[in-house]
Structure formats: C-alpha cells, structure tokens
Structure 1
Amino acid sequence: MSRENNWDWGMHNPSGCGISSLMSLKRKLFRGNLVVRSLDNMVERGNGLGAGYAGYGIYPEHEEQYAFHLMYENIDARNFTEEYLSRFFKIFDDEPIPTRPMPGIRTAPIFHRYFVLPTEEALGTNISEHAADEFVVRHVTEINSSQKGAFVVSSGKNMGVFKGVGFPADIGGFFRLDEYQGYCWIGHSRFPTNTPGWWGGAHPFTMLDTAIVHNGEISSYGINRRYIEMFGYRCTMMTDSEAIAYLFDFLHRKQRLPLELIPAIFSSQFWQNIDLMDEENKKLHETLRQVYGAALLNGPFAIVVGHRQGMFGLSDRVKLRPMIAARKDDVLYIASE
C-alpha cells in the first residue's frame, strides 16, 4: 500500500483508462455487478494496476451518517486511526468491509468501515450540515496526509467507494459488489503509465459524497493543484484525478456554485466563442473564466462525477477523449472508451 506522495511534484499522470457509469433517475436500486460487467467488456483499457467503483444508496440504514471506508497497512495503523476517530466522532457502527478471495488478487490491505457523526463537543455551537461537512473534510485530509499506513477511501453519506489493484472483475468480485444495491454506480479501469499502481491510487477519488473517475491526462495539473491547495486541500496521491475531486468539492460545496456552472469552469468556452454570445451569457462566462481560471482543466480528458444529486459527464473542449451518453427507460448511462 505504498503511497505516491514521495514522488517528484513535477510529475504528472498521463493514462489511458476506461469509464462506465449508470444511474436510475427514479432512484431504483440495482446490484453493483451490472457496472462490473460493463467495465469487464473493455478490460483492454486497463492493465490490472487499478480498478474501482462508487455506489450511491448502498447504506439506507445509515443514510444520515458519514460512511468512512478506510484501508490500513497493518493492525497498528488501524488501532492508531480508530483512537484518532474516537476523539472527534461518534461511531454508530463499524465492521470489516466484506471481501472474498479472488485469483487475481494476491495481497490486499485491511479494509474497515465506520458510520460516524462529529461529536457535539467537537463541533461546538456550529451544528449546521455545512459545518459538519467541513469538519469531516478537515479530518479526512489530516488522516490521508499524516496518519502513516492509513487512507480514507471515501467519506460520504449513503455511499461508498471500493477500489484497489486488479482488473475490474477482480475488484468487483473481491469487494462482493453483487451483494450491494444502489441507484447510481460509477466505475473505472486504470492504466497508469508513469506512476505506480497501488490500492489508494486507483479511481474513484472522493471528497465527502463526490466521486470522480477520469480517463485521460490533465496537462494543467500543476496549476490546478497549486490553486486548490490555497484553500486548505492537500494533494498527496500525485495524480491529476485527485485534484479534480477537490476542485469539484470546492466549487460546488464551498463556493456554492450550481452544478450547471461547473462544466463552464472545468471545460470553459474558448474566448472567440464567448465573444459570440448574447450580453448576459457573455458576462457570465467572462466572469467565470476570470474568477476561476485556475480551475480550468486542460488536456485530453473525459470525467464522470457522482454526487448526492446524481451524476454528470464532461469531456475536454475539443473532444480528445470520447464520451458516450445514453438513456433507456429511467436509466442514464455514461461511458468513455
């Protein structure tokens, strides 16, 4: 479970990956093996060094609590992190994340999940949902950057991320996704090219209930990372996909921008196209580019974002990475390569 944060900050992570996602618009539940099977159809888009899934609606019995999925290198790391969590959170339930042996997975970290809320003492007088979210972000960031041998895989409500080193079918079987039911699933098959494949480096990357899967290369990673770290986020994974997850959390949750404006920031219009807009839209897009210019994603990419309000897909401005969307009955599908 070796981290990637010892790598040179000047490195980036170009990759060729596969994405598959599906969501019931009526929030009907379906098993996770559907997205596993769809990713397995494009197994050539990965090389066995990473695959992962995010499921939404999978913990209805704990829907008001933050579901922390953690991976540990050893028992000592788990004991130390659990002591840390107990100081700041009320733990309503915890258990090992169920797994099954898979031929393609020889070694794996320890996986455990916790259903928690910040304690009243830790939050103080500010008990709003925004304050609780910010409290969780702060402590997830602290664990991921400072707790040796521990990594928070996901921390949202009524959702969870399952990821690791292996092909999509290996990871789906290992985490027994056929036993989970959710209304939205996003999946990713990874092909890292110049950073090592490790369990924490697989997609999706998350912050609270936002999960990002990404196909391509963000050539603007350096400026994106420096920009987001100005606001207290810490990029420790040495991959551009992590920065996208934090940018989305910052823009939507902290800046409270509507979802409809996020694509206009991540994949903004060219200036010559903005000049052709009517005055109202021209002013809006000029302002977004001026205020959030450092959040522009450059390079070939296709991303799918899962969050509590649904999911959306986005590709780069000149479509250097393909993206296909379809709808059948009440189910929306988005895929890339």
Structure 2
Amino acid sequence: MDTAGRRFSGEGVIRATANMRDRGNGLGGGYAVYGLYPEYADQYAFHVMYLSPQGRRDTEAFIKENFSLVAEEEVPTQAVPQITDPPVVRRYFLDINPGKLGELAEDDYIVDRVMTINTKLGDSFVFSSGKDMAVFKGVGYPKDIADYFCLEQYKGYLWTAHGRFPTNSPG
C-alpha cells in the first residue's frame, strides 16, 4: 500500500502468492486492487461474470435501466491451462441517475442492484462493485488467476490477495 496514493505494479504481491502455492488447495484465489481506474475514479466499476449470452442480455438491460453507462469493455484475459471453462467477464463504469435513488443512499442503491443481479437474474454474477477498485477472482491458485486476468499490466495504490487453503487438515 502506498499511503500517498502512488500507483505501482502488483508483481510483488503476485510473486508472494506464487510462493504460497503449497499452502493452498487451488479451489479459489483472488486479488483486490485500489486505485485501479483513475480515469473512472468517480464511477462505480462493476465486474460481472456471465455464464450465458442470455444472462448477459438480461443483466445489460438491467444495468442500462438502473444506471448511466459511461463505458464498458471485456476484462482482458489470456489462456491459462489451469483455468478451465472460464466465464465471460466484462466491466462497466456506471453513474447513478439521481432520480433513481429515491430515499436510498448511494451505497444502499448499489447493494440493492448488485443483489438483484446476483439473486434474480440468471447466469450472471457481479463480483466487484466499487469506485476506483476491482476484484479479480476465480477457481484456481492465486498465481493462475493473476496470469489469467493479466494482472501484471495493472497498477494500483493498494493490492491484497488471497488463496483458498484447507481448514480441515490434521495437525
């Protein structure tokens, strides 16, 4: 973390998680990066996984109905042999239309819309929904997830990572 807000590569964090591979079980890994999208620092950045074209159509219609869409794009990925059958992952940079808030605070509005997508719309899952930050996660070891999402190309002022590890090991 750079407390002055200077952005840096996550290579050190990625390397550290690679060193911990033997401690994990390969069933989940991920990273959160703050200061990732300075050009969209005032917008909410939604990262959404899609399992079907219909899930994407339904979710994008919902997003356009509930937000002002500033920008959208596919999250860059690369083939990694250890990551099998990955979902399509897209990111959306969103503003809240003031008329949509009603009595809700912005944070409550975001939580409500994310929960609607995740529980009522099929084949889609919002796994990151903050401002100037993002989560990158999946099934695999953290290093494999970093490689899959091309995380060496990103910079942020705070990086954190996790790897799933067995909690029922004897000893």
- TM interval, short-chain normalised: over 0.9
Report how far residue 192 of structure 1 moved.
Answer: 5.4
Determine the C-alpha separation between the residues in 1 that align with 2:165 and 2:57. Answer: 33
Match of 1:49 in 2: 27
**For 2:136, which of 162, 183, 203 is the aligned residue?**
162
Determine the C-alpha separation between the residues in 2 that align with 1:33 and 1:68. Answer: 24
SS state of the match for residue 105, structure 2?
Answer: helix
In the alignment, does 2:9 pair up with 1:31?
yes
* Paired letter, 2:107: D
Asked whether the 8 Å contact 1:52–1:189 carries over to 2, the reply is yes
In the alignment, does 2:80 pair up with 1:94?
no
- RMSD value, Cα: 1.5
Determine the C-alpha separation between the residues in 1 that align with 2:73 and 2:14. Answer: 24
Asked whether the 8 Å contact 1:33–1:172 carries over to 2, the reply is no
For residues 244-323 of structure 1, the aligned pairs below 5 Å read none
Report how far residue 55 of structure 1 moved.
Answer: 0.2
Of the structure 1 ranges 43-52 and 157-166, higher mean CA displacement relative to structure 2 is found in: 43-52
Q: Alpha-carbon deviations, 1:147-169, whole Å to 9, x = none?
A: 21111111000000000011111
Show structure 1 runs of 4+ deviating over 4 A.
none
Match of 2:165 in 1: 191
Taking only the aligned residue pairs, the percentage that are identical comes to: 46
Q: Alpha-carbon deviations, 1:285-317, whole Å to 9, x = none?
A: xxxxxxxxxxxxxxxxxxxxxxxxxxxxxxxxx
Match of 2:121 in 1: 147
* Paired letter, 1:141: M
Determine the C-alpha separation between the residues in 2 that align with 1:118 and 1:138. Answer: 13
Match of 1:137 in 2: 111
Determine the C-alpha separation between the residues in 1 that align with 2:69 and 2:13. Answer: 31
Match of 2:89 in 1: 111
Report how far residue 27 of structure 1 moved.
Answer: 1.8
Determine the C-alpha separation between the residues in 2 that align with 1:189 and 1:133. Answer: 28
Report how far residue 191 of structure 1 moved.
Answer: 2.5
For residues 167-178 of structure 1, the aligned pairs below 5 Å read 167-178=141-152
Q: Give unmatched runs, 5+ long, in structure 1.
A: 1-22, 195-337
Determine the C-alpha separation between the residues in 2 that align with 1:60 and 1:27. Answer: 11
Q: Give unmatched runs, 5+ long, in structure 2.
A: none
Count of equivalent residues: 168
Report how far residue 193 of structure 1 moved.
Answer: 6.3
SS state of the match for residue 24, structure 1?
Answer: coil
Q: Alpha-carbon deviations, 1:224-260, whole Å to 9, x = none?
A: xxxxxxxxxxxxxxxxxxxxxxxxxxxxxxxxxxxxx
Determine the C-alpha separation between the residues in 1 that align with 2:17 and 2:167. Answer: 20
Asked whether the 8 Å contact 1:49–1:192 carries over to 2, the reply is no
* Paired letter, 1:121: G
